Amino acid sequence: MEDLDTQVLRSAQAWHTAGLPVLLVTVTRTWGSSPRPPGSLMAINGRGEVVGSVSGGCIEDDLIRRVRDEGVASVCAEGRPATLRYGISADQAHRFGLPCGGTVELVLEPVADHTRLPDLLQATLARRSTERRLDLRTGMVTLSEGRRDGLPELGDETLVTHFGPRHRLIVIGAGDLSRFLCQMALGLNFEVVVCDPRDEQHAGWALDGVTISREMPDDLILRLKPDAHTAVVALTHDPKLDDLALIDALQSEAFYVGAIGSRRHTGLRRERLREHFGLAETELDALHGPAGLYIGSKTPAEIALSIMAEVVAAKNGVARAATVPVAEGKAALPAGGHAPGMDMAVTCRV
């Protein structure tokens, strides 16, 4: 499964290649409440077919009507990009279903060969962060190396947007828990890689959209070189597999590194990584263990949900909670929700 931006860009290019007029729409700025954030993309072809969204409904309906009834050439005079605002007045906000006071600013761009969508798609799939600079006077596009994240920057003559690698989840260990975790990650548009060198774990384990590796986990981590858009989760409970992968992951740029296990086993793991492999305290502090937010999880699906929630929280810059408040006189539970000396239920037992 591709992320939504890639789907929009790929559809826009496919329609253009097929000879259809296509409009690429970018949310550049919003004021007040708005259904979609800056940077959101949508593509509309001359038949009124749409991929992506900029408001969740009503603005799309108006743009579709204009493109279908008037044509892309009419919406964007002389083939040049155009800027459009919705929701400036209370009447518009009500008409287009925007929250009270909400305003959405859009740049509408007719797709052409000089739009350079194939080059942008190639850079994104190669996990290269790319800055896209659109000349609003001519529609010409230049691409250069840039940061992955950042709001669009709209000036009098240019629109600068940022693209880059989709978020990726590397899972160490193939099993019931990893299957649930991968399904959730795919639904959240993560690229997913599962690594397990054990032959017996591969019997019957397959999931569409997931890349499966039989490499040793540390070899995979070294080969993939986790970047700032990669999360690594170790699920095997086997130190020969988990620990070696964690050593390299904790020394990478990965935005999240987690491992399953009880507090007792997490403490033993930290001691091993410190005493035998020389990891620094700052590196060990980056380890989420036990992995997952506390939700009282017991089944593999619930444990996967707690882990994926913590991964998404880390991706979105939400501060990490060390403990969960409990009644007076009871020990606080760790973020993963597993009491000291207890092992995780079902597939998480050691």
Q: State both tokens at 95.
A: 């008409």
190 and 121 both lie in a single domain: no
Measure the CA–CA gap between 308 and 79, rounded to whole angstroms: 44
Instruction: Examine the domain organization and report whether 134 and 53 are in the same domain.
Output: yes
Percent of the chain with pLDDT over 70: 84
Chosen domain end from 161, 184, 213: 161
Q: Are residues 127 and 172 in the same domain?
A: no
DSSP of 282-311, one letter per residue? HHHHTEESS-S--S---SHHHHHHHHHHHH
Give residue 148's pLDDT band: very low, low, confident or very high (50, 70, 90): low
pLDDT digits (tens, 9 = 90+) for 54-73: 876 678 888 888 888 888 88
pLDDT at 322 (0 to 100): 46
Q: Are residues 239 and 203 in the same domain?
A: yes
Structure confidence by residue, pLDDT tens digits, 106-141: 999 999 999 999 999 999 888 888 999 999 999 999
Domain check: are 83 and 49 in the same one?
Answer: yes
Average pLDDT over residues 9-32: 93
Closest Cα partner for 324 from 311, 310, 312? Answer: 310
The verdict on 176 and 323 lying in the same domain is yes
Q: Are residues 39 and 130 in the same domain?
A: yes
The DSSP bridge partners found for residue 143 are 132
- Looking at the structure, do residues 126 and 185 belong to the same domain, yes or no? no
pLDDT confidence bin for 204, thresholds 50/70/90: confident
The answer to whether the beta carbons of residues 37 and 30 sit under 8 Å apart is yes
The residue among 161, 182, 216 that closes a domain is 161
Task: Answer whether residue 94 shows pLDDT above 90.
Answer: no
Rg (CA), the chain: 24
Look at residue 55 in the predicted model and tell me its pLDDT: 79
Same domain, residue pair 205 and 265: yes
pLDDT digits (tens, 9 = 90+) for 156-203: 999 999 987 889 999 999 989 999 999 999 999 899 999 999 988 887
What is the residue range of 130's domain? Answer: 4-161
- Kindly state whether residues 132 and 271 are assigned to the same domain: no
Q: How many domains does the chain have?
A: 2
> What is the domain-level CATH number for residue 274?
3.40.50.720
Look up the pTM and report it: 0.70
Residue 157 and residue 64 share a domain? yes
